[in-house]
Structure 1
Amino acid sequence: MGYNVPRFPNADPEELIRRPLQKRLKFLSKEWGEWGFGAARKISVMYLTKLFGAWLIGGALLITLTSHLNPLDVGSWWTNPIVYQKLVVMTMLLEAIGIAGSWGPLAGKFGPLTGGILFWSRPGTIKLSPYKWVPFTGGSRRTVVDVFLYHGFLFSLGTALFLPGQSAAELPALARFQQFLADPANGVPSWLSQNAESFLLIQTTPLIFAVILLVLVGLRDKTIFLAARSEQYLLPVVFFIAFPNLFEVTDMIIALKIFLVTVWVGAGFSKMNRHFSLVIPPMLANTPFWPPRWLKKRTFKDFDNDDLRPGPLAHFFSHVLGTIVELTAPLTMLFVVGTALGGQTTVTLATLLMVGFCFFIISTFPVAVPLEWNLLFAICAVIFFIGYPNSAGFSAFDMSEPWMPFAVIAIPLILVIFGSIRPDKVSFLASLRQYGGNWATALWAIHPDAEKKLHRVYRPTKDQIDQIQAMGLPYPLAEAFLEMSLGWRSLHSQARGLFSLFLKEVPDIDHRRIREAEFACNAMIGFNFGEGHFHNEELIAAIQEEAQFEPGEFIVAWVESEALWHGYQEYKLIDAALGVVERGRWRVKDAVAEQPWLPNGPIPLTVTWRSPDFDKLQFTATDIVGPDAVRQPLEELVEAEAHAEEMAR
C-alpha cells in the first residue's frame, strides 16, 4: 500500500467475488493477516492529525483560552482541575457529535466521514429504544422531540466548555482545596502548591442540564447514549457536579482515580476468556507503521502453512502484556502509598506503563478507532497519579468519608459483574468488554438483486458499497475492497459460528452479498462501536418497515456474547421479513479451534428452536456480479488510481 493509494486485494476482483464463500474467506483472512485493511497511509496520517492536531493541540488552546489561562505556560495549568474537567466534557461532546470514535474510513464511513449528528438531527431516521415499556419512549423513528433533546444536550456540554470556570471566591470547596495545597505539612509537590491560587473548576449548572438531557435522550435512543460514551464520561461528569458542591475537591480527584482504575481493571477482567488471543493478530495486522510483516505473520500459529489460529506470540501479547498488565499496573497505581513497594517511583513507573498501553492501542488503529478516548486516559493517568501523588493526600484511603470509595466503585462494578453474567441485558461498553474479543456481533447475507432495497431506508448516507463506488471504483473492485472487512471478522472467534450458520442454513450463500454488520449498521443509524445489540432483530425490523424485503432475501446471523465462562454462545438467525427464525448455540472451544474459512465444514451447532416458516423458503442461486459490472485487471485499476492521485497533486 502507498501513501495515496490503498492496497486492494491481490486478486482479480471479479474472479474473487465469484469464488465460493469458504475460498473467499481463506483468501481474505490471509490478506488481512498480512496487510490489514489496506487503507492508504494518508488515512492513518489523517487520523493522527485529527488526534494530535485538532483534539490535543486545538483542545488545549480552547480549554486554556476559555478558562483565561496562558496556553504557552503549560507548567502553570497542567494540574489545574478545570483543564481535565473540560478535557472530559470536550471529548464527550465530540463523541456525541460523531467526530471522535467510530469516525472515518476505518469505521466504514467513506463519505461522509461521520454519521452521528447527520443522523440524529433528522426526524424520521431510525432510533433504537432500550426500554419500550417506559411510557413515551417507544417507536422506531426519530421525532422532533428527539432532535430537540439531542441538541439541548450538545448545547449544554458546549456551554460548560466555553464558560470560564468557578473561582475560590465563588466556591468554598475550592477555597478549602487551595488551603490544603498551600499547607507544607501535607507534602504537596511544588507544581501543585505554587499554582494553587489560579486553580478553577468547571461551571456545574450546564452540566446538570447535560446529565438530565442525556438520560432523557438515552431512554428514547440508546444509540446516542452509548455514542456519547456515557459509560466512560457520565460518571466523571457527575463527580464534577457532586463533589465540589457537596463534599471536597480532593474527593473528586480521588474518585476520578478510582474510576480510571476500575475501567482498566474491568477491561482486564473481560480479557480472561478463550476469545481474546484471537483479537491480537488481526489487530496488529492493521497497524500501518509497525510491526514488520514477518512479525505480524508470527502472531499466527503457522501463517505460511495456512494455520491462522493465534500462536504463542499472540498469547503472550494478549494475556501477559494485555490481561496481566491491565490488572496489576492500575491497582499498583491506586494502592501504593508512601514508601511501600518503592512509593511514588513505583506508581510513576506503573502509570507510564499504562500510558504506553494506551499508545500501543492508538498505534494499531483499531476498527472502531477509539483514539481520543485512549489519549484522554493516558493524559488523565499522568495528571491524577503523577500530578496528584497518593502520598500527598490523594490516595484511595484519603477520601473525607470512609464509604465514598465503595460508592464510587459500586456502579461500574455492578455493570461489569452483571454484564458479564447477563451480556444480553447490559451493553458490552457499559460492562467494559471493549477489547476482550467476547462480543455480540452479526453478519448480513443479502440476495444480490435485493440489496438495492436498503436504499428505501431514510438516512443521510448510502451503503458502504455505494460510498466506495462514489469514490470512482467500479463495482467488482469496490466489492472486493469492502469484503476485506469479512477477512477481519473471520479472524475472530464469533465468525466461525456465524459463517457456519450461513453454510448450514442458507443454501445459496455462495451467491449472496455478505456484509459485516458493524459496518452496515453504521450506514443505518450513524454509529457503531462493536456493539452487536445495535444491529439485532430490533434494527432489522426497523429496516424492514421501509425496505420491505421478501422472505429469504435478507438473512442475518447474530450471536450474543458468551456469558461469564459458560463455554457457549447463543445465536439467532433472523429473516428481515419473518423475524427470528432459529435459535441455538455453539461451543466456544469449537469456534476458537477452527480455521477462519472452516475447511472442516461448519462447527457443531445446537438448534434450540426453529420456525416452520423458514423451512418453506426457496433459495435460488444468482450471480453475485451484476450485468453492468466492468471487468478491468487489478493492475490497471491501481495504475489508474495512482495516475489520478499524481494528476491531482
Structure 2
Amino acid sequence: MPFKTPVVPQVDPTEFLTRPHQERLKFLATFWAENGFGTQKMVHTIYIVKLLILYIGGGIALATLTSGYSPFAVGDWWDQAIIYQKFVMWTLFLELFGLGGTWGPLAAHFKPMTGGIAYWARPNTIRLPPWPRVVPLTRGANRTVGDVVLYLLCLLGYVAPIFGPTTEVDGHKLLDPTLMLISIVLLLLCGLRDKILFLASRGEQHLPVLIISVLAGYGAFTFKDFIIAAKLIIVVIWVGAAVSKMNLHFENVVPPMVSNAPFTPKFLRLAHYKSYPDDLRPSGLALFMAHVLGTTAELVVPLVLLLSPWPWLTIVAVCCMVLFHLFITSTFPLAVPLEWNILFAYITIFLFAGYQAHDGYGVLDFSQPWMLPVVLVALLFFPVLGNLRPDLVSFLPSMRQYAGNWASAVWAFKPGMESRLNELTKGADNQIDQLVNGMGTPPDFAEMTLQLTIAWRSMHSQGRGIYSVLQNYLGDEYNDYSLREAEFCCNSVIGWNFGDGHLHDDQLIDEIQRRLHYNPGEFVVVWVESQPIHKKYQEYFVMDAALGIVERGRWNVRDAVKEQPWLPNGPIPVEVTWRANAETSGRTAAA
C-alpha cells in the first residue's frame, strides 16, 4: 500500500452510487475483506507518532520528573505505585481532552481530527444526561456555560494530582488523596450532567482506581490492599470482556478487524473468511482466533495472573497479556483505543510482575477478610447488570468491549436531509463535508468512502438485522435514502463515540429533532439493543425523528449470523412486537 495514497474500490463512483443499496453492500464488504478501510499508511504513522511521543514519551516524562526519577532510569520507577497512578491520571486527561481513543480519521474525525474539547468546551452543543428524570439539576440537553466550566475543571482535576503533594502509605509514595477525591467528585458531576464525558474518560475503567487511591491515601486501605484491589480491577475488566465474547457475535468481529489491520498480509486477511469473495462468514481460523486466542486466553491468563503461586508461571502470563494488548494495538481497531491498550500492558507488568501473589499480594491477602467480597461485588455489579439488562447499562461498564454484542444503529436520510445536521452547534461539520470541503475529496469518492462504514456494519451480526428492518420499513423507498453508520454520525454531532449505541438512541434523536424540526420521513433510524446474555434475540426500534418510535420488534441472533452481509436471501426473519397505527406513523411497515 502506498504511504500517502489510500486503496480505493476500483469502480466508477458515479455509476456505483446508482446501484441498489444491497448491491453496494456486497461490493464494499468484499472490498473491506481484502483491504479494510484502505487507509493510507501515513494515517497510521500519525497515530504511531502520537502514541509514542505524546502518550508514552510525554507520560513517562511527566510521571517520572514530577516524582523525582530520571525518565531513563526505568529500573528505578517501573514498579512504583505513584507512577502507576500518574499514568492513569495522564490517560484520563488525554481521553477527556479528546486526544485518546476515538481520535482522528480512523474514528471519522477527518478534519479537524480532534472532537472532544472542540464540543465540550463549547456552549449550546448537545449533552446527554444519563438520568435526567431522577437526578436533580440534570434535565435538558443543552450544554451551558456552567457545563463548560465544569468540564474544564474536570480536565484540571486530572492534571493537578500529578503535580500536587504526595502521601506515604506503608513506606510507598501515593498521590494526595484529597486531590484524587476532588477528581472523583468532578468526574461524577460531569457524568451526571453528561454521560458522554464519563464514558469518554473511560470512567468505568479508571474510577475504581481513583477510589482505591483515596481509600489508601486516607488509611482505609493498606498498601497491600491497594495493590490487590488494583489487580482485581484489571482482572474483572479482562474476565468481563472474555465472558461477553461467549456469544455468536464475536466470531463476526475478528475477520473485519483483521482485514483493517494495516500490517496484516492480504492472504492472512482473506483466510479469516470461509470462501472469499462468495462467502464472507467467519472461517475456522477466525473461530480459533476469536474463541481460543481471544476469549479463552482473555479468561484463563488473567486468572493465572491473579492466582499463580509460581514466579515463572506469573512471568509467562504477564508476557501473554502484554502481547495480547500489543496485538490489539497493532490492528488499529475502530475507535482506536491505542493509549488504553498500552496502559493495560504497563499495568500488567507493574501489578503482576512487580507485586506477585507468592510475595504476599495474592487475592486472599487483604488485611481484612470482608474486603475481598465487598470489592468483588462493587466491581461486578455493573457488568452483571449490564449483561442481563443491557438497556440499563452502557456496554462499556458492562465490560463488552469488542465483543460484537453492541447497541447499534443506521440513520437513513431523504436526499438533502443529512446536510441539515450542520445547522446544529457542534465542533465539526458532517463527515461528508469534512471530506469534501476540508480535504478536497471529490463528492462521489467521499460518498463511497462513507458507505464503506455501512458495509463494515453489515459484516457484523447486528448490521444484517438493521438492514433487514430498513428494507421492511422503507419498502420501495429503501434505495432512495442515504444510509449512514450512526456511530460515525454520532461523532460529528456530540464529538465522541466508542461503539456505544446508547449515545445515539432516541434521546439524541429527540434532541436533534427539537433543534431541527424534520418532517415525517426525512430522517429515519433503525436502532438495536445489545443481546441479553440469557436470551437468543436482539430487540430493535424504528424511529422517525418527526414522529418518534413507530415500530418495535426483535430478531433471532442465529438468523443474523448465518447470513451473508448483503442478505442475498432477502431480509432475515423479524418479529414485529408493536407498531404505531398508520394515522400516527404516516407509514405502514411491511410485515
Query: TM-score band (shorter)?
Result: over 0.9
Matched, 1:320 2:322: no
Equivalent residue letter for 1:558: W
Q: Give CA deviations for 1:361-390 in whole Å, capped at 9, x if unaligned.
A: 111111011111111011110111111121
Correspondence 1:89-104 to 2 at 5 A: 89-104=89-104
CA–CA separation in structure 2 for the residues paired with 1:163 and 1:42: 38
Cα distance in 1, alignment partners of residues 524 and 501 from structure 2: 16
Alpha-carbon shift at residue 268 of structure 1 (Å): 0.2
* Offset from partner CA, 1:241-274 (integer Å, 9 cap, x none): 1123222111111110111111100100000001
* Residue number among 357, 364, 376 corresponding to 1:397 in the alignment: 364
**Cα drift, residue 164 of structure 1:** 4.8
After superposition, give the CA deviation of every residue in 1:104-136 in whole Å (9 maximum; x if it has no partner).
011110011111111111111001111012221
Alignment partners' CA distance in 2, 1:411 and 1:370 = 25
2:473–2:588 contact (8 Å) kept in structure 1: no
Q: Distance in 2 between matches of 1:431 and 1:248?
A: 29
Aligned residue in 1 for 2:308? 336
Superposed, 1:116-195 pairs within 5 Å as 116-133=116-133, 134-166=135-167, 171=168, 174=169, 177-178=170-171
Asked whether the 8 Å contact 1:282–1:491 carries over to 2, the reply is yes
Separation (CA, whole Å) in 2 of partners of 1:441 and 1:274 = 16
Deviation at 1:615, TM superposition (A): 5.3
What aligned pairs does 1:522-601 form with structure 2 within 5 A after superposition?
A: 522-601=491-570
SS at match of 1:22: helix
Shift of residue 614, structure 1, vs aligned partner:
6.2
Instruction: Report 1:150-549 matches (<5 A).
Output: 150-166=151-167, 171=168, 174=169, 177-178=170-171, 199-245=172-218, 246-290=220-264, 292-304=265-277, 306-337=278-309, 343-469=310-436, 470-506=438-474, 507-549=476-518
Q: Which amino acid aligns with 1:244?
A: G
The answer (yes or no) to whether the contact 2:177–2:217 under 8 Å persists in 1 is no
1: CA distance, partners of 2:189 / 2:73: 40
Cα offset for 1:10? 1.9
Distance 2:379 2:327 in 1: 25
- Structure 2 unpaired stretches of 5+: none
Alpha-carbon distance in structure 2 between the residues aligned to 1:610 and 1:551: 16
Q: CA deviation at 1:604?
A: 0.8
Supply the distance in 1 between the matched residues of 2:216 and 2:164 (Cα, whole angstroms): 20
Q: Distance in 1 between the 2:515 and 2:7 partners? A: 36
In structure 2, how many angstroms separate the alpha carbons of the residues matched to 1:597 and 1:551?
Answer: 28
> CA–CA distance in 2 between the matches of 1:127 and 1:551?
25
Runs (4+) of structure 1 moved beyond 4 Å?
A: none
Of 55-64 and 65-74, the range deviating more from structure 2: 65-74
Structure 1 position 616, deviation (Å)? 2.6
**Whole-Å separation in 2 of the counterparts to 1:256 and 1:235:** 8
**Counterpart amino acid of residue 530 in structure 1:** G
Structure 2 counterpart SS, 1:114:
coil
CA separation in 1, counterparts of 2:179 and 2:118? 24
Tell me the secondary structure at the aligned position of residue 314 of structure 1.
helix
Q: Distance in 1 between matches of 2:577 and 2:83?
A: 54
- Report the CA distance between 1:322 and its aligned residue: 0.7
1:68·1:164 contact (CA, 8 Å) conserved in 2?
Answer: no
Question: Does the 8 Å contact 2:547/2:585 carry over to 1?
Answer: no
Check 1:596–1:588 CA distance in 2 against 1; reply closer, same or farther (3 A cut). Answer: same
For these two proteins, the number of residue pairs brought into alignment is 584
Judge conservation of contact 1:122–1:142 (CA < 8 Å) in 2: yes
Deviations along 1:392-420, one digit per CA (max 9) or x if unpaired, are 11111111111212222212211111110
Which piece of structure 1 moves more, 118-127 or 202-211?
A: 202-211
How far apart are the structure 1 equivalents of 2:280 and 2:337?
26
Is contact 1:455-1:547 (8 Å) kept? no
Identity across the alignment (%): 47
Q: What is the letter of the counterpart of residue 321 of structure 2?
A: M
2-structure distance, mates of 1:65, 1:114: 28
- 3-state SS, counterpart of residue 201 of structure 1: strand
> Matches of 1:614 and 1:534 in 2, distance apart?
26
Instruction: Judge conservation of contact 1:9–1:481 (CA < 8 Å) in 2.
Output: no
Alpha-carbon distance in structure 2 between the residues aligned to 1:77 and 1:450: 55
Q: Which has the higher contact order (CA 8 A, sep 6+)?
A: 1
Distance in 1, Cα, partners of 2:91 & 2:75: 22
Any idea what SS the aligned residue of 1:388 has? coil
Report the alpha carbon displacement of residue 618 of structure 1 after superposing the two structures with TM.
9.9
Q: Which amino acid aligns with 2:573?
A: P
Instruction: List per-residue Cα deviations over 1:173-222 (Å, max 9, x = no partner).
Output: x2xx33xxxxxxxxxxxxxxxxxxxx521122221111111111111110
Q: Matched residue of 2:412: which SS?
A: strand
**Are the aligned partners of 1:244 and 1:252 in contact in 2 as well (CA < 8 Å)?**
no
SS in 2 for 1:431: coil
Give the conservation status (yes or no) of the 8 Å contact 1:67–1:163. Answer: no
Q: Is 67-76 or 562-571 further displaced after alignment?
A: 67-76
Contact 2:176-2:217 at 8 Å conserved across structures: no
In structure 2, C-alpha distance between the alignment counterparts of 1:203 and 1:550, rounded to whole Å: 55
> Matches of 2:250 and 2:532 in 1, distance apart?
14
Give the Cα separation in 1 of the matches to 2:61 and 2:254: 36
2:175 match: secondary structure? coil
One-letter code of the match for 1:389? Q
**Given residue 473 of structure 2, which amino acid in structure 1 is its aligned partner?**
E
Pairwise CA distance, 1:93: 1.0
Distance 2:454 2:365 in 1: 50
Q: Does 1:110 align with 2:105?
A: no
Match of 1:636 in 2: none
Is the CA contact (8 Å cut-off) linking 1:552 and 1:618 kept in structure 2? no
> In the alignment, what sits opposite 2:12?
12
The answer as to whether partners of 1:5 and 1:40 remain within 8 angstroms in 2 is yes
1:505 maps to a residue whose letter is Y
State the one-letter code of the partner of 2:418.
Answer: E
| Separation of aligned partners in 2, 1:615 and 1:557 | 15
Q: TM-score, normalised by structure 1?
A: 0.88
Give me the whole-angstrom Cα distance separating, in 1, the residues matched to 2:107 and 2:248. Answer: 26
SS at match of 1:569: strand
Deviation, 1:288, is: 0.3
In structure 2, relative to structure 1, the CA distance for the partners of 1:224 and 1:241 (3 Å cut) is: same
1:229 counterpart letter in structure 2: R
Give the AA of the match of 2:12.
D
Q: Provide the C-alpha distance between the structure 2 equivalents of 1:38 and 1:164, rounded to a whole number of angstroms.
A: 48
C-alpha distance in 2 between matches for 1:218 and 1:141:
14
5+ residue gaps in structure 1? 179-198, 338-342, 620-649
- Say yes or no: does 1:616 pair with 2:586: yes
CA contact 2:326–2:342 (8 Å) conserved in 1: yes
1:624 aligned residue: none
* Structure-1 separation of matches of 2:229 and 2:26: 49
RMSD after superposition:
1.3
